[in-house]
Amino acid sequence: MPILPVTTHTSPLHRDRTHARSTLIAAGYWVLGLWAATLAAVTAYLYLVTGGSFDYVEGVALGHQLMSAGGVPLYGVPADQPPYSVPLYGPVFYTLYGLLLDTAAPSFTPARALNLLLTLYLCGLALLVARQSLGVSRAAACLAVLCWLSLEPAAGFLLQNRSDTLALAFAASGFIAAISGSRYRLSMAVLLLTAAAFTKQTTVVAPLIAAALVLLRTRRIRDAAVLLFATFGLGLAILLLLNGLTEGRYWSAAVLGNLNGFSPGSALVAWQKAGQQPLFWLALVVMLANLRATGARQAIAIYGLVSLALHGIAVAKPGANSNYFLEYSWCAALALAPLLDDILRKPTRSRHGLLAALVLLTCSISLGLATLSQQRLHQTAEDWPRNRDWLSHWEAVADGPVASMRPGIQILQGRSPYILDPHIIARLTEQGRFDEQGFLEDLRNARIGAVIGADDLTAGPGEFSNWSIGMRKTLQDHYVKTNTLDSLSVWLPKKDRQATKPSISR
């Protein structure tokens, strides 16, 4: 006797409710996309129209870019005399961005405009991978990328005058090229990853290791070996060449000068800043689950997790921040794109309804936190003219050069900073790798007209400060706090100090 098929009848009321829920969920995600797009657009606008620096490192990088643009042998400038500093990044960054500068009227705008173009390129690369390799819809891919642009660390660092955006563009492109099937793209991967290494010294590690792991898992053992040895060999050859051209100073400045110690407290602060966003942890869960997948999903998961592990350790370096999670966050956007696609395609299925609501809530909380962060960005932009005028006043009245924690403002106003990077000088001093006696001697003899810094100028011996312990003690013995503006303070030599003021240059 034939078995008749069972027909399931759905009532019109049930269909209406299902359609209503589907419409509501879809509307929620459209609102989410609009919210993220607005945040990303406003952030870009603020960076392009604000003349001042949003971060101390922007000014340090501008100083080194000007040296490069002016033909100064950047890695040959002695660190133990003004302008006290060590180049933070590789020559690719300084050379390329230095070409954009007008040395007579330096500005952050050219570097930020280039970083905006690189950011758009990274968005396009992510969209291409999401569409072609992951097979997600255009809407899901765009939503994932917009969330990435709106959240830390991308929102805070991509448009800054830093090397991170260029380095990420090289590194991510090198990884994608390495795991592709073309032999020519493997050669391209070697070139791109080497360029990343000489843009920002640590950038090559995560994509190189991740690409090798992906190739090994797909049994492309020969390709993995070629990638590792060719990248290492090319990088070593360029390193030896640069070291020879600079009489060994490139290694001392670009490598040894940036080997800070490790501080658990610094790591905790960075993890808290990046990890306060629920999307950070949602992406981690998805990546761990995708380790059991195949193809592009697994490859992206490996890249993201390797980046998270390596950079999660690197943030223990004093002065490090959540910009070290940029590679992880880019991978997070790609990891979340298939999840968003699945939700948008089938938002009302029983096992998707709760998930769709949970992901929507997670994204909303993260974007809410991003909105608060953007308010601080607005405040920094609004405070820029006032801070500029206040600092300009004390620069003008100072009897001699000024040691400032705001070197970017000094450079924008045509002044040469006495000390370009107090932070790195303090770290090198603490490690016994820098002799600061010349700096301290200038302080004792009131040769420095003013010292301008934040509250950390009065930090105790066991507290973190961007200035060395010896500098802070000497400052308090021979200078007096004269004026403050928010957290900034200006210190001038004590009036009863009878000091000679010969030339500072050594």
Q: What is the DSSP string of 348-385?
A: TSHHHHHHHHHHHHHHHHHHHHHHHHHHHHHHHHHHHH
Say which range, 13-27, 76-90, 263-277, 424-438, has the weakest mean pLDDT: 13-27
- Would you say residue 31 lies in a domain? yes
Mean pLDDT across the chain, nearest whole number? 86
State whether 349 and 391 are in the same domain: no
Residue 121 lies in a domain: yes
**For residues 388-405, average pLDDT:** 90
Are residues 364 and 468 part of one domain?
A: no
| Residue 472 placed within a domain | yes
Instruction: Provide the β-strand partners of residue 419.
Output: 84
Average pLDDT over residues 329-338: 95
pLDDT beyond 90 at 234: yes
The better pLDDT of the pair 298, 77 is held by 298
Hey, what amino acid is at 155?
Answer: A
371 and 418 co-located in one domain: no
User: Where among 334, 363, 378 does a domain terminate?
Assistant: 378
- Both 361 and 398 in a single domain? no
pLDDT tens digits for range 194-215: 999 999 988 899 999 999 999 9
11 within domain boundaries = no
Task: Write down the pLDDT at residue 465.
Answer: 86
- Looking at the fold, whether 127 and 191 belong to one and the same domain comes out as yes
For residue 322, give the DSSP letter: G
Q: Is the pTM of this model over 0.85?
A: yes
Residue at 292 is within a domain: yes
Alpha-carbon distance of 173 to 189, in angstroms, equals 7
For residue 293, which phi and psi values (nearest 5 degrees)?
A: -80, -170
Indicate whether 276 and 399 sit together in one domain.
Answer: no
Domain boundary among 344, 378, 412: 378
Residues 393 and 291 grouped into a single domain: no
Domain boundary among 378, 406, 440: 378
Residue at 8 is within a domain: no
Task: Let me know: does 60 contact 420? Beta carbons within 8 Å.
Answer: yes
Domain count, the chain: 2
Q: What is the pLDDT of residue 163?
A: 93
Residue 471 lies in a domain: yes
What are residue 402's DSSP bridge partners? 450
| Digit-coded pLDDT (tens) for 261-307 | 777 777 787 788 888 899 999 999 999 999 999 899 999 999 999 99
* 310 and 431 belong to one structural domain: no
Residues 243 and 374 in one domain: yes
Once rounded to an integer, what is the mean pLDDT over residues 317-322?
63
Does one domain contain both 395 and 370? no
Range of the domain at 434: 383-493
Same domain, 374 and 464: no
- Tell me the per-residue pLDDT of 128-152, one tens digit each, with 9 for 90 and over: 999 999 999 999 999 999 999 999 8
- Report whether pLDDT(498) > 50: no
Q: Are residues 201 and 309 in the same domain?
A: yes
Is 50 exceeded by the pLDDT of residue 505? Answer: no
Q: Stretch 364-374: mean pLDDT, rounded?
A: 91
3-state helix vs strand vs coil in the chain, percent to 5: 65, 5, 30
Q: What is the mean pLDDT of residues 462-485?
A: 89
